[in-house]
């Protein structure tokens, strides 16, 4: 799983399945879409203009609880 917030375009991307799969995109609103993959699995959620929908996003960031964080294998040593 990857969660990424792009401050330049104010977009939050939550990718639940990292491998590339063919998806159907369901637009819940002009700002929120969900990518549905094979078997009806949620692949990703994208939120445009995220700071307008999520209070305090730019100031406080995103709090992540109960997840194991790992260092990317491409990190410099």
Note whether residue 60 is domain-resident.
no
Note whether residue 37 is domain-resident.
yes
Its domain, for residue 20, covers 2-51
The predicted model scores a pTM of 0.77
Note whether residue 63 is domain-resident.
no
- Which helix (H) or strand (E) segment holds residue 12: the answer is strand 11-15
**Structural domain tally of the chain?**
1
pLDDT tens, residue by residue, 15-74: 999 889 999 999 999 999 999 999 999 999 999 999 999 888 877 777 777 777 666 554
Note whether residue 68 is domain-resident.
no
**Coil, helix or strand for 9?**
coil
Contact predicate 53/32, CB 8 Å = yes
Note whether residue 6 is domain-resident.
yes
Note whether residue 56 is domain-resident.
no
């Amino acid at each position: 799983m990857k969660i990424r917030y792009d401050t330049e375009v104010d977009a939050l991307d939550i990718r639940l399945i990292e491998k590339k799969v063919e998806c159907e995109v369901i637009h819940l609103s002009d700002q929120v879409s969900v990518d549905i993959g094979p078997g009806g699995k949620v692949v990703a959620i994208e939120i445009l203009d995220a700071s307008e929908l999520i209070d305090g996003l730019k100031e406080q960031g995103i709090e992540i609880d109960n997840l194991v964080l790992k260092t990317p294998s491409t990190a410099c040593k």
